[in-house]
Structure formats: structure tokens, C-alpha cells
Amino acid sequence: MYVGNELRKRHKPDNKVTWIIDRNVNTTNVCIANCKFCNFYRIPGHAESYITDIEQYKTKIEETFRLGGEQLLLQGGHHPDLGLKFYTDLFRQLKKLYPALKLHSLGPPEIAHIAKLEGKTHTEVLSALKEAGLDSLPGAGLKF
Ligand code: SF4
């Protein structure tokens, strides 16, 4: 906390604190990580499993904009069939529909999962996602 506060003072010497409105939206609840504490995930093929579709994103994004929000925090399970192309296509489509939307999306475990599925490095996955429209990565302090 001390170091974080000192860094904040260095970066924001005027001590001005700002905030934004964003919305958490889950990409899918299908996950193969099996974390013991998790009541969110469903195994592949489960009757309650879902992948959020573009119409659902549109509804949620437009509601967010109407309420003054500007950013989506997209996170979800480690779906065994959703690789890099799924996310780059999704990010491109969302940015094309809503150029002002900020994508603060996917966490380090999801990047690791995608990298493993694709046989790519974390850097290669992050570069491709950034190219597709990712603005920042939650939980990693990474802004592009
Ligand atoms: S990775 Fe996330 S969604 Fe999957 S089981 Fe763990 S906490 Fe749940």
C-alpha cells in the first residue's frame, strides 16, 4: 500500500483522483479450470452453460452508455473451444460497432489459458488482442 501510494503521488502530483463507470459482462460461464471456490462456472455441455452473443453485448453496452458508462470489463471461464480468434473477432466487432468503447478485458489467467490453447506465448496473445482493440488488462496493471 505504501509503495502504491508513493507511486500514485509521483504519477499524480496534483493528487487528483478520477473514476469511470464500467460494466462487468461475462463472455461465457464454461470453464475447465475447476476452482474449488467457484460457483459461477459450468462444465462444457452443461444445460446452464452459455456464450454471450452479439445481441446481448449490444443491449448491455447501449444500457451502459445511457447510464454514462464507457468501458466493459469482459471476463469469463476458460472455455476449451474459445481460442484467440474468438476474442480477436469479438473485440474487433465491438470496436467497429462502438469505437468509443473501452475494453478493459480478460485477466492474466485467461491470457494464460488462450496461450496454452494456441501454443503461443503470452506476449503473442496480448499483442494480437491489443491489435484487435484491447485497451487494458484487469488485474495486471497493464494499459496499452
Ligand atoms: S477460472 Fe474463473 S470461472 Fe473458471 S473455475 Fe476458476 S474462478 Fe471459476
Within 8 A by CB and 6+ apart from 24, the residues are 72, 73, 75
Residue 92: inside a domain, yes or no? yes
Domain that holds residue 118: 18-143
Q: Can you give the pLDDT at residue 131?
A: 98
- Would you say residue 1 lies in a domain? no
Q: Is residue 4 part of a domain?
A: no
- pLDDT at position 144 is 66
Look at residue 133 and tell me if it is in a domain. yes
> Is 73 domain-assigned?
yes
Whether 35 is in the pocket of ligand 1, judged by its Cβ within 6 Å, is yes
Q: Which of 28, 37, 40, 50 to mutate to test the pocket of ligand 1 (most atoms within 8 A of CB)?
A: 40
Half-sphere exposure of 110 (CA within 13 A, CB side): 27
Q: The CATH number of the domain where 29 resides is what?
A: 3.20.20.70
Q: Does the residue 2 lie in any domain?
A: no
59 within a domain of the structure (yes/no): yes
* CB distance 42 to 30 below 8 Å: yes
77: Cβ below 6 Å to ligand 1? yes
User: Per-residue confidence of the chain (144 residues) as pLDDT tens digits?
Assistant: 999 889 888 988 998 878 889 999 999 999 999 999 999 999 999 999 999 999 999 999 999 999 999 999 999 999 999 999 999 999 999 999 999 999 999 999 999 999 999 999 999 999 999 999 999 988 765 666
**Is the minimum distance from the CB of 33 to ligand 1 under 6 angstroms?**
yes
Task: Tell me, in angstroms, the distance from the centre of ligand 1 to residue 76's CA.
Answer: 8
Can you give the pLDDT at residue 16? 84
Alpha carbon 43 to chain centroid, angstroms: 21
Query: Around Cβ 20, how many Cβ atoms within 10 Å?
Result: 10
Phi/psi for 79 (5° steps) reads -75, 130
8 Å CB contact between 131 and 141: no
Query: pLDDT value at position 143?
Result: 63
The domain total for the chain is: 1
Burial class (CB in 10 A: 0-12, 13-18, 19+), 127: middle
Angle at 96 between CA 95 and CA 101, to 5 degrees: 30
Residue 32 domain flag: yes
- The pLDDT value given to residue 104: 94
Closest atom of ligand 1 relative to the 113 alpha carbon: 1
Please calculate the CA angle 113-119-124 and round it to the nearest 5 degrees.
Answer: 80
